[in-house]
């Protein structure tokens, strides 16, 4: 296979992963409605877990993209470190959300059969996008100062 076809195929695959990551991060309810699973219905708890998975997919995508250039080696290594620590960071972040956010009230409303708030979805999207943005900016600033695993 020639290099041109490989580059085109790689770009399509990266765009596909980017689309999945963004949908999981911003609109997990659409993902759960499109790919229905009886073991994972469209509940607030599952939507929050899908957002955490979206952060991990986006970090993985950034890892693949940043590894292609030599100039971003420090950023690449810091994103790799963030990807390795994300199974530890995500449960802590989810615990903070369950403990100190309106997520507890949303779960009670869901169990009682009451209607959900659209504001809650926006807040959760903003929280997870802020976490992702914080990870990326921290990785970039640390790499710019020369602080990364060697």
Rounded Cα distance between 75 and 111, Å, is: 43
Q: What is the mean pLDDT of the chain?
A: 85
**∠ CA 109-56-39, rounded to 5°:** 45
28 and 47 Cβ atoms separated by less than 8 Å: yes
Domain ranges of the chain: 3-144
Structure tokens at 139: 């990785």
Q: Tokens 């952060």 correspond to what residue?
A: 55
Count Cβ atoms below 10 Å from residue 61 Cβ, excluding itself: 18
Q: pLDDT category, 4, cuts 50, 70, 90?
A: confident
Q: Stretch 62-86: mean pLDDT, rounded? A: 88
C-alpha distance from residue 42 to each of 48, 49, 83, 102 (Å)? 10, 11, 26, 18
Q: Residue 116: what pLDDT?
A: 66
Per-residue pLDDT reduced to its tens digit, 97-148: 887 776 677 666 766 666 666 777 888 888 899 999 999 999 999 999 988 8
């Amino acid at each position: 296979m020639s290099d041109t076809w490989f580059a085109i195929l790689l770009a399509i695959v990266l765009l596909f992963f980017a689309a999945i990551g963004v949908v999981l991060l911003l609109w997990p309810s659409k993902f759960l409605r499109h790919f229905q699973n009886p073991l994972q219905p469209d509940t607030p708890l599952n939507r929050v877990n899908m957002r955490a998975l979206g952060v991990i997919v986006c970090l993985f995508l950034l890892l693949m993209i940043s590894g292609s250039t030599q100039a971003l080696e420090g950023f690449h290594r810091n994103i790799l470190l963030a990807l390795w620590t994300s199974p530890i960071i995500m449960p802590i972040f989810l615990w903070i959300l369950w403990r100190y956010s309106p997520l507890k009230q949303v779960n009670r409303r869901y169990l009682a059969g009451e209607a959900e708030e659209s504001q809650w979805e926006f807040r959760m999207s903003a929280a997870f996008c802020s976490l992702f943005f914080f990870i990326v900016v921290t990785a970039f600033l640390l790499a710019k100062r020369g602080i990364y695993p060697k």
